[in-house]
Amino acid sequence: MKTKTIISLLFILFFGINLFAQEDIPDVTPTPISGWKSIQEKIVYPYVAIRAKIEGKVCVLASIDANGNVTSAKIIKNIGAGCDEIALDAIKLTKFNPAMKDQKPLKVVVIIPITFKL
């Protein structure tokens, strides 16, 4: 297994994010300015999902620029019932501390899981 793949798997296991196909692996991963809970606080469980008892994890692929802005985001694992759109919006509305490499901000692409649990 390649070193970058192993490092990416470790980030998923320990930080819940995946640095996706990076040329430079950052020294510091991007983090929401207000903390990881700030994303979860933006989640309003869709009524349809509650009635259908839908639970699971939505994974969002997000590009975060050197200023910590989400420049693009898309769903790569969905659970439906409106949860996907809610997760996507929460990520798009989040401002991040940028990833850093050698004390310089770095643009990265990450996978961010959002858990929906009743």
Nearest C-alpha neighbor of 3 from the set 30, 29, 17, 22: 22
Per-residue model confidence as pLDDT tens digits over 7-55: 444 444 444 555 544 566 788 899 999 999 999 899 999 999 999 999 9
Domain ranges of the chain: 3-116
Distance, CA of 30 to CA of 66 (rounded, Å): 10
Phi/psi at 10 (nearest 5 deg)? -65, -40
Strands 18-19 and 96-97: unpaired
Tell me the fold of 3-116: TolA/TonB C-terminal domain (3.30.2420)
What are the tens digits of pLDDT across the range 55-70?
999 999 999 999 999 9
pTM of the predicted model, to two decimals?
A: 0.78
